[in-house]
């Protein structure tokens, strides 16, 4: 609740007491080509000066940096180098010696989230003076890497640093990466086209609306001395494609998307009222946080309605409710504007028109003011604070967005004194999290409909189409749009959403075309059968037995994408061949059954090319109707153990070794090890192996039931063949029926129910020729002659 006067304020109440911005543009007379650290230091000095008193730098207890784009993901890099500790590098330039240095997670929500977090820390008495800052010099770096005499921004600072990492899990998925839905333009275009369909707008109508939404921002940007662009543009200037304003996607032109080639920095000083008083900072400069919210959206493919973002609208409501005001009470606001839908989502919910007299941005927006990486909203907060001071008692709102509308943070500011309210975000988040999720099909096959789509570079020869669709069973998938007819439809139709397409999966991706005939012509299904020769395998038939040898001894029989494809095809052929009744899988040489995924061969993204049936064509196969024996003749590590676990019987050489070492190289046993190992071994032992990479020798594996037989060294294949002969001595119908029933029962948690349902197996077995033959052979005291029918 509001406080009547500054004198009544609790000394622990957090207040913003200083804000500062710095920028430079290539080509300007005063351009200095500063690195991130030096430009940030300029903004920090400006924020300290804005407090109106000297000596603030010495009071700072915590310095927290917004994460730069140069280290925002595993794929990012610093071509000109950077400090190893950005907060302390800036501190050294500005007279600070903070107890704690922090580098925040990736995302445009970061500036507002940091204000919320450290306002809470101050209110709880854990600190009393915090500096928040961010800096980007992407424009300078881009220009500098093109010249021979490059600057070097590398700096070894050392010291304590709380590096919070990327924390970008959930912002994209393996399925999106496989289909190129990685860059923000592609991701937001999918959302935008879904919204256009929901509103029933034509492409031309919707483009005009996007232009009208953003045109007023160019006016604000033109008046902002820190803007990257100082040009006022009309709605048509923004939305109509021209040579200077090409379409970068359907539906975006270049002028409708965030401008990331900028050199901009901003800083905010937050202190407790007690510390601000002690420093002598004029209370007229104090700005209070009246309302706030920090919420998360579920991953893109799981969202029930791709055109809507309930977490964003809930965050706006929660922050305004906390402040005890409505949107009509807000004098100034800044809605995150990386792409039009980020603004329209908030504006639609709040009932704001594009020409609202207050404006929808105080900076000029990300496409025109500029999009300095994760730090844009620090500039918005600085502008809101300055406006709040100019109009005491007024309210300002900042809405900050990260990811694909994935993380949303809102702050409501005013000079009116108020104690920091208690957060309601956890309760609101809990309500959001219980909503239904859409089931995803990783491998899509058959007739489907387009749910949303985009085409990158739609007017160039290298155009690339992406589709999110729904299969007949309602599951959602992402696919590459293939074929000129479909691409023409996506680029030119007013509303291709709802159009029937035809999907086909492969190890690398899903494909959709406009007709089934085109799909069959361009992407024919591979024929099922054995090849004349294999690159990585040795395949032998011996009567009813198939022997498959992984023949890559130089790499310890590690599985490359090519090996995966060959094994998948071989097991397809085995399960389809009525004359093959048992298969044996082993590795060449005596060193390894398989050492798992060939990381070198899978580097650069091809490691995502796993068959629908899983690693080696076995680990995710829904049905293994005939026996597969693993003859483990050495190392069965990582994916090698996961392959063995997928087999029905494991026979091990006495020198065999079993383990899941993935955690030691930053990976996880996601090809079945995390699921199957705890079901086979005692749970405590399984957890030990999974979490530490502990290995078992053959004797331990036998003692704990991981393998069924251990052989003298060098005899494992012979013993596996003997096991195969023992299986062949049994009825193939009974063996296959037993496999099917065990698989079904494994999914049934109740034992009694599973036993009762298992009686259904007799419906198949009792009417088979094999049962009749088995009984007759027993009566006649002769070996049975199985037909397998």
Gap between the Cα atoms of 75 and 106, Å rounded: 13
Residues 694 and 754 in one domain: no
Average pLDDT value for residue range 501-517: 94
577 in a structural domain: yes
Any residues with CB less than 8 A from the CB of 407 and at least 6 apart, and which?
A: 107, 108, 109, 113, 294, 295, 296, 297, 401
Helix (H) or strand (E) holding 488: helix 484-492
Domain CATH for 283: 3.40.47.10
Supply the range of the domain harboring residue 339. 6-168+255-430
Catalytic residues: 642, 662
Residues 741 and 714 in one domain: no
Please report which confidence band the pLDDT of residue 60 belongs to, taking 50, 70 and 90 as the band edges: very high
788 in a structural domain: no
Q: What is the pLDDT of residues 445-465, one digit of tens each?
A: 999 999 999 999 999 999 999
State residue 322 phi and psi, 5-degree precision: -65, -40
Task: Check pLDDT > 90 for residue 414.
Answer: yes
Q: Half-sphere exposure (CA, 13 Å, Cβ side) for 427? A: 4
Gap between the Cα atoms of 632 and 611, Å rounded: 23
Residues 489 and 558 in one domain: no
Q: What is the pLDDT of residue 125?
A: 97
195 in a structural domain: no
- Of the chain, the percentage scoring pLDDT greater than 90 comes to 85
Q: What is the pLDDT of residue 6?
A: 58
Gap between the Cα atoms of 561 and 572, Å rounded: 17
Out of 430, 457, 487, a domain closes at 430
CB 138 within 8 A of CB 80: no
638 in a structural domain: yes
User: Per-residue DSSP letters for 569-633?
Assistant: HHHHHHHH-TT--EEEEEESTTTEEE--B-TTTTGGGGGG---TT-GGGTTT-S---S-EEEEE-
Residues 376 and 291 in one domain: yes
Q: What is the pLDDT of residues 607-661, one digit of tens each?
A: 456 788 999 999 999 889 999 999 999 999 999 999 999 999 999 999 999 999 9
- To the nearest whole number, what is the mean pLDDT of the chain? 93
Distances (CA, A) of 185 to 23, 177, 455: 25, 14, 10
Average pLDDT value for residue range 35-42: 98
Average pLDDT value for residue range 261-275: 98
Q: What is the pLDDT of residue 606?
A: 41
Domain CATH for 501: 2.40.50.840
Q: What is the pLDDT of residue 746?
A: 78
Task: Check pLDDT > 50 for residue 268.
Answer: yes
- Comparing CA positions, the residue from 673, 665, 661 lying closest to residue 595 is 661
Q: What is the pLDDT of residue 405?
A: 97
1 in a structural domain: no
Residues 560 and 709 in one domain: yes
Out of 497, 522, 547, a domain closes at 522
State residue 184 phi and psi, 5-degree precision: -55, -35
Backbone CA torsion sign across 524, 481, 487, 514: positive
Gap between the Cα atoms of 596 and 647, Å rounded: 15
> What is the SS3 assignment for 559?
strand
Gap between the Cα atoms of 539 and 541, Å rounded: 7
Please report which confidence band the pLDDT of residue 526 belongs to, taking 50, 70 and 90 as the band edges: confident
Residues 263 and 360 in one domain: yes
Task: Check pLDDT > 80 for residue 104.
Answer: yes
Residues 377 and 515 in one domain: no
Q: What is the pLDDT of residue 1?
A: 44
Q: What is the pLDDT of residue 757?
A: 65
Please report which confidence band the pLDDT of residue 7 belongs to, taking 50, 70 and 90 as the band edges: low
Q: What is the pLDDT of residue 605?
A: 45
Task: Check pLDDT > 50 for residue 707.
Answer: yes
Any residues with CB less than 8 A from the CB of 156 and at least 6 apart, and which?
A: 83, 84
Gap between the Cα atoms of 562 and 598, Å rounded: 10
Q: What is the pLDDT of residues 708-750, one digit of tens each?
A: 999 999 999 999 999 999 999 998 888 888 888 888 877 777 7
CB 661 within 8 A of CB 597: no
Residues 715 and 746 in one domain: no
Residues 579 and 662 in one domain: yes
- Count of domains observed in the chain: 4
Q: What is the pLDDT of residue 607?
A: 47
662 in a structural domain: yes
Residues 766 and 715 in one domain: no
Task: Check pLDDT > 90 for residue 423.
Answer: yes
The answer to whether the peptide bond before residue 652 is cis (omega within 30 degrees of 0) is no
Domain CATH for 699: 3.90.226.10
Please report which confidence band the pLDDT of residue 666 belongs to, taking 50, 70 and 90 as the band edges: confident
Q: What is the pLDDT of residue 5?
A: 56
- Lowest-confidence pick of 80-84, 177-181, 210-214, 415-419: 177-181
Residues 292 and 325 in one domain: yes
Residues 78 and 146 in one domain: yes
Q: Count of residues for the chain?
A: 789
Most confident of 305-314, 593-602, 619-628: 305-314
State residue 25 phi and psi, 5-degree precision: -125, 135
Task: Check pLDDT > 80 for residue 115.
Answer: yes
Gap between the Cα atoms of 241 and 86, Å rounded: 41
User: Per-residue DSSP letters for 643-709?
Assistant: HHHHSSEEEEETT-EEE--GGGGT---TTTHHHHHHHHS-HHHHHHHHHH--EEEHHHHHHTTS-SE
Q: What is the pLDDT of residue 781?
A: 84
97 in a structural domain: yes
223 in a structural domain: no
């Amino acid at each position: 609740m509001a406080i009547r006067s500054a004198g009544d304020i609790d000394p622990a109440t957090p207040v913003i007491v200083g804000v500062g911005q710095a920028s430079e543009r290539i080509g300007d007379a005063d351009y200095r080509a500063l690195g991130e650290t030096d430009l940030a230091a300029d903004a920090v000095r400006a924020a300290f000066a804005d407090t109106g008193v000297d000596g603030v730098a010495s009071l700072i207890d915590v310095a927290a940096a917004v994460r730069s784009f140069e280290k925002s993901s595993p794929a990012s890099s610093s071509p000109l180098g950077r400090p190893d500790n950005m907060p302390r590098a800036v501190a050294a330039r500005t007279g600070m010696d903070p107890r704690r240095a922090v580098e925040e997670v990736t995302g445009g929500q970061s500036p507002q989230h940091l204000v919320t977090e450290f306002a809470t820390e101050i209110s709880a008495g854990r600190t009393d003076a915090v500096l928040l800052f961010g800096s980007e010099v992407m424009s300078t770096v881009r220009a500098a890497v093109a010249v021979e005499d490059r600057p070097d921004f590398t700096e070894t600072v050392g010291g304590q640093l709380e590096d919070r990492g990327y924390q970008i899990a959930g912002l994209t998925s393996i399925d999106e990466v496989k289909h190129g839905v990685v860059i923000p333009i592609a991701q937001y275009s999918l959302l935008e086209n879904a919204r256009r369909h929901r509103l029933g707008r034509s492409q031309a109508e919707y483009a005009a609306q996007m232009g009208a939404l953003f045109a007023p921002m160019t006016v604000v940007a033109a008046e902002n001395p820190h803007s990257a662009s100082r040009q006022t543009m009309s709605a048509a200037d923004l939305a109509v494609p021209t040579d200077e304003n090409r379409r970068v996607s359907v539906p975006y032109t270049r002028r409708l998307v965030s401008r990331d080639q900028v050199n901009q920095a901003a800083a905010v000083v937050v202190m407790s009222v007690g510390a601000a008083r002690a420093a002598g900072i004029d209370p007229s400069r104090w700005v209070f946080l009246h309302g706030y919210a920090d919420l998360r959206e579920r991953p893109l493919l799981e969202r029930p309605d791709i055109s809507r973002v309930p977490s964003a609208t809930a965050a706006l409501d929660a922050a305004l409710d906390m402040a005890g005001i409505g949107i009509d009470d807000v004098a100034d606001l800044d809605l995150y504007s990386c792409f039009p839908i980020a603004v329209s989502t908030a504006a639609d919910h709040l009932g704001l028109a594009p020409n609202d007299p207050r404006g929808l941005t105080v900076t000029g927006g990300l496409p025109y003011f500029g999009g300095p990486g994760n730090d844009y909203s620090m500039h918005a907060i600085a502008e809101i604070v300055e406006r709040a001071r100019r109009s005491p008692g007024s309210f300002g709102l900042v809405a900050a967005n990260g990811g694909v509308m994935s993380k949303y943070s809102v702050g409501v500011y005013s000079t009116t004194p108020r104690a920091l309210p208690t957060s309601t975000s956890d309760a609101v988040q809990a309500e959001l999290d219980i909503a239904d999720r859409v089931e995803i099909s990783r491998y899509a096959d058959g007739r489907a409909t387009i749910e949303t789509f985009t085409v990158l570079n739609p007017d160039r020869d290298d155009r690339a189409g992406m589709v999110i669709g729904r299969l007949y069973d309602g599951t959602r998938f992402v696919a590459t749009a293939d074929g000129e007819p479909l691409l023409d439809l996506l680029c030119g139709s007013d509303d291709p959403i709802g159009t029937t397409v035809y999907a086909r999966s492969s190890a690398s991706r899903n494909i959709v075309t406009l007709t089934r005939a085109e799909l069959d012509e361009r992407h024919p299904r591979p024929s099922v059968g054995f090849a004349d020769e294999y690159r990585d395998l040795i395949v032998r038939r011996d009567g009813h037995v198939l022997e498959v040898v992984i023949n890559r001894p130089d790499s310890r029989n590690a599985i490359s994408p090519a090996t995966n494809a060959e094994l998948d095809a071989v097991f397809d052929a085995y399960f389809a061949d009525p004359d093959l009744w048992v298969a044996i899988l082993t590795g060449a040489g005596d060193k390894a059954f398989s050492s798992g995924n060939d990381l070198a061969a899978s580097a650069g993204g091809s490691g995502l090319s796993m068959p629908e049936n899983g690693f080696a064509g076995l680990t995710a196969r829904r049905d293994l109707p005939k026996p597969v024996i693993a003859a483990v003749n050495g190392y069965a590590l990582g994916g090698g153990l996961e392959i063995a676990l997928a087999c029905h019987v494991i026979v091990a050489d006495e020198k065999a070794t079993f383990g899941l070492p993935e955690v030691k190289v930053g990976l996880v046993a996601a090809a079945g090890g995390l699921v199957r190992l705890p079901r086979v071994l005692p749970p405590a032992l399984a957890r030990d192996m999974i979490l530490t990479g502990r290995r078992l020798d053959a004797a331990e594996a036998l003692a704990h039931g991981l393998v069924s037989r251990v052989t003298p060294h060098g005899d494992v294949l012979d013993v596996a063949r003997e096991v195969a002969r023992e299986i062949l001595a049994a009825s193939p119908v009974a063996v296959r029926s037993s496999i099917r029933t065990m698989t079904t029962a494994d999914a049934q948690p109740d034992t009694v129910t599973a036993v009762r349902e298992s009686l259904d197996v007799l419906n198949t077995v009792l009417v088979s020729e094999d049962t009749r033959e088995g009984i007759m052979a027993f009566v006649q005291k002769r070996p049975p002659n199985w037909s397998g029918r």
